[in-house]
Amino acid sequence: MAGPLSGIKLVEFAGIGPGPFCGMILADLGAEVIRIDRASQHGQGNTIDFQNRSKLSLSADLKNSKTIEEIKKLLASVDGLIEGFRPGVMERLGLGPEECLKINSNLIYGRMTGWGQDGPLSKTAGHDINYIALTGALELMGRKEDTPPPPLNLVGDFGGGGMFLALGMVSALLNIKNGGKGQVVDAAMVDGASVLMSMFYAFKASGFWLEQRESNMLDGGAHFYDTYECSDGKFLAVGAIEPQFYSILLEKLEISDTKFQNQHDRELWPHLKKIIKDKIKEKTRDEWSSIFDGTDACVAPVLNLSEAPKHYHMKSRNSFVEIDGIIQPAPAPRFSETAAKIKHPALKAGENNNEICEQYNLDRTCFS
């Protein structure tokens, strides 16, 4: 069964982080994604780089003018392009959007950057932590007495970057189907991460959100929404927001103190949190997991990367798959009729040079 994007052909210029992540999502959903790798990397590659799974590889010297002309021929026959260079790099290579859209007026030209294609910082370097710092997201994370912690690069690179580029590419492709024309998709992590912050900006505008960290319901301020250490040094994640779930939490913790009836009294939160902290410290994580398992208390064990794929719920849904002996996250989301799948592990650079050149009638001598 073919994936929902079967028949879509994309070219991805090799990079790191959110661009390849976007390409992985689209490839898992059925698109043919041709990754253009550096000629200097020919025959090399990490086959357990999950972000390059399901893609084909064409190795090319982008400094060779003849090779650039052949890549233009390739772009004339595909539906979209993904690149994650600094603004201006593709233009200097002769592969900027203006040039490429002349070749293929229906081409969707996806651009992935941190700062965006324009603006005062557009040409400066940065990473996830810098981009989310400017959106307000980083300041909201962590404990009030500490500096904001360096988070995993989920909010900027992947949530605010790669996922938004994937959505933008698919949206623009749908526009083509509806009679539109090719266009540039400018996916900036500062834009995407800002959109992810919409609810919190709404909270602030309504007077519901306090600026100080660990003073709000969702930032670790509330006793019913936080992580707690167990007797074995492992952790529980507690998220009993709704009253009916909160009551089950208290029942399972065997807490009857009447002060807990004032669930949303911010003044009481530190005191109530201390009681829960001491209570949870009485048992191991797995003991608590057995107590809360199958209830609506909204409590879950905090698992590490080795434990997560083995959890019975994750196993029942096949949320992780094993390919060539390597465990990795399965494609998402799930489709009832057009299932997404991992076509193959990441291939070495240039592994598909011959077949791609033959399929698209490219000069094989231009690709090493």
pLDDT tens-digit readout, 62-86: 999 999 999 999 999 999 999 999 9
Give yes or no: 191 in active site: no
- CA-to-CA distance for 311 and 132, rounded, in angstroms? 31
- Identify the burial level of 203 via C-beta atoms within 10 angstroms of its C-beta, where 0-12 means exposed, 13-18 middle and 19 or more buried: middle
Catalytically annotated residue among 49, 61, 127, 311: 127
Mean pLDDT estimate for the chain: 96
- Name, in order, each residue with C-beta under 8 angstroms of 8's C-beta and a sequence gap of 6 or more: 26, 30, 31, 32, 79, 80, 173
Give yes or no: 157 in active site: yes
User: For residue 1, is pLDDT > 80?
Assistant: no
User: For residue 108, is pLDDT > 90?
Assistant: yes
Reading the block at residue 333, the tokens are 């989301």
Determine contact, residues 107/101, Cβ cutoff 8 Å. yes
In the chain, the domains with their CATH numbers are 9-197+323-366 (3.40.50.10540), 235-301 (3.30.1540.10)
* pLDDT score at 57: 97
Closest C-alpha to 9, from 33, 26, 36, 28: 33
Catalytically annotated residue among 28, 37, 128, 157: 157
* pLDDT score at 69: 97
* pLDDT score at 239: 98
Report yes or no on whether pTM surpasses 0.85. Answer: yes
pLDDT tens-digit readout, 271-293: 999 999 999 999 999 999 999 99
